Amino acid sequence: MPQIKIRGIEPNEICKISEKMIDKLVDVVQCPRDYFEIECIQSVAIRDGKIAPVYPFVEVAWFDRGQEIQDKVAKIITESIRENLNVESLDLAFTVFEKERYYENGEHF
């Protein structure tokens, strides 16, 4: 169920790296492939009253898997994007869901 939300990079570019990146993440996170979802968010950045390029940003929303796994996931995603899509710099952040506050079909985990 890790949700990978990406903005500032074109969806077609993410498609190019998605399969190999998810292959690596499945091995590290140890959850089924179909639990992963990549969402490309189209956004508009405004700086000084003008439309500007959106800085690449990745958010991983998931249940906590510990610092070691989190570090590995951050590295896999960052390297997949930077090395294959000519993205020089990007930020990545994790949002951690609490099981008592996460619901699927009206039932919490």
Phi, psi of 86 (to 5 degrees): 55, 40
* Predicted TM-score of the model (pTM): 0.93
Domain at 87, CATH number? 3.30.429.10
Burial of 60 (0-12, 13-18, 19+ CB in 10 A): buried
pLDDT of the residue at 105: 94
Domain of residue 94, residue span = 3-108
Question: Mean pLDDT per 10-residue run, the chain (109 residues)?
Answer: 95 97 97 96 97 97 97 98 96 96 90
Q: Is 95 helix (H, G, I), strand (E, B) or coil?
A: strand
Q: State the total domains in the chain.
A: 1
